[in-house]
Structure 1
Amino acid sequence: MVIVDEVIIEKLKLLGLREYEARIYATLVVLGPSKASEIAKESEVPRPRVYDVLKELHKKGFVDISEGNPTYFRAVEPEKVIASLRDKYLKSSEEVIIKLKSYQKEQREEWMPVWSLQGEWNIKSKVEDLADRAKKELIIAFVDGKLALKFKKAFEKVKHRGLDVKILLLEKNKRYLNALNRFGEARCIQLEKILDRESEDFREVLAEALFSNKTPYNVKGIFVRDGEESILIYEEGGILKGLIITIPFIPMFQRKMMLHFIEKSKEKS
């Protein structure tokens, strides 16, 4: 039996093929020219459906037919099929964006102080938007340097505009620190030195409240724009999430906290 990777089937479906179309096309790529009975057996698509699916694939230009007794079918070259699916997908995407935009009513001017985010691509996009809106500075703190570098596009945006960029790395890792220094002033202070202390300084109390592992969520990083808006990135149940915060005093406190520890890091060096 032909074994077709399920990941391939799912990706073909994402590009617009139906389940049976994806299975039959992928099977034909592996088999080469074949009879419908062979395709049914190897693809595990119910035999009564195979002819209809093959005809649909032929109509789309993805399968060629050699009429005869028996009739043979062959897959059109994958690079051509994938290019066709991709072009159709992109065209449909653009049409949907235009159509949805045309449906949008005038936005209501309501102040929503906190928005919850999920999905790494969405969080990265929102951070890039934040970087675009920065007027003077972007202050950043990250527990994990590897995760911080996933946001390098946002760092590049503010660096390109000549804004003040300060980055606090809460782990001792020279490689990540050097990489982050390309985007602005990067400093390092170990997280343990923040958490394992008793202090009445509100900045250190805030840091302990944010980065303590005693809560169900695990803060990974913070971006603060001009002391007016912040995005807090955290992990909960193994899922990366985020909070956009525009309540005025919270981004201001977060900024003061991060600048405090950036100065502390200078004392250590």
Structure 2
Amino acid sequence: MDDSELTDVLEDAGLSPYQAEAYVALLGLGTASATDIADSCDVPDPRIYDVLRDLETKGYIETFQQDSLTARARNPDVVLEDLRSRSSKYLNAAETIEERWNQPEISDHEVSIVKRFETVVSRARELIEAAENQIQVGVDPEQFYAVREELIAAHDRGVNIKLSICTGAGEDVPPLSDIEGTCTEARNREIPAPFFVLVDRTWTCFAPHHDSVNEYGVLVKDRTHTYVFHWFFLTCLWEIWDTLYTERTPETPTTYVDLRHAVRDIEPLLNEDAIIEAVVVGYDTETKESVELTGRVTGIDYTGSNIGRTDPVPLAQLAGRISATLVTDDGTYEVGGWGAVIEEVEATEITITNVEYE
């Protein structure tokens, strides 16, 4: 660094131009009279005495009287500490600016584009930690381990978690011992896919596959937009892929977080005149208050029910309006799926507690 650059830095650190020039000149001279210092820099002779006194006050130099006023640079420890402190503040400010630019505060009903994949993963981990009801996850093996601890904690809280592990050529899925305890069910998509996390039907974190040309991420807080991402998960990451792991057993009550999946299993049972007892957890579509209903499922209805029937019903036939009739001791309720408006209840969880045949 030459004298000019050093002078500029000292000015940035708080010295005046004359103070910076005099100090740099004195560093080169060692000990010198005020006149000699003025001759070695651009400080006018009448100003040099005030400049030296100001530098002494700041702790940069010390002065003493010989034949004339003489100065020498003090031990630079104080100066160096000040410069290093300023440097640290500049670095912290730079990091804060970068962080805030990459991760803006998310407000209600907002879609944000961020530049760094790390920002998307960090936000996904925070949302998983706060999840209350359900999580849908699409990750590659490396990304799985990046969010694994948060998934374990959410699973321990009783959150329903569907995990799609997406593998490319030559990639192995994590061992089942690592998957167990992180999810309710896991499937393996044998094609690379974007990073995907959807939490409580409200939040979505999405980033393209790591081989994508552009690196960016999308953070969404909006139930309408997340519904679109939900269908991406169902059709691309879940429906057609083989199950790796499931907690479901013949003895375990079957719990669904999507009415469409429940209907696919319930319809054949109703066709056989089964008595189906269920617990529905969700929201009153008018008051938005939480509800929990216990009763008997007596019927289902969906837009595609008059299309050519197959077993199981293709997911595409369930893409329209769908509802189930639940008869309780307090009355009969029409239960809808995600985004229900016409029905009395939007179901977030349906548990089949018992199936009997008359």
Instruction: Choose 1 or 2 for highest CA Rg.
Output: 2
TM superposition score normalised by structure 2 = 0.37
TM superposition score normalised by structure 1 = 0.46
The structure where helix makes up a greater share of residues is: 1
Report which structure shows greater RCO (CA 8 Å, sep ≥6).
Answer: 1
The structure where strand makes up a greater share of residues is: 2
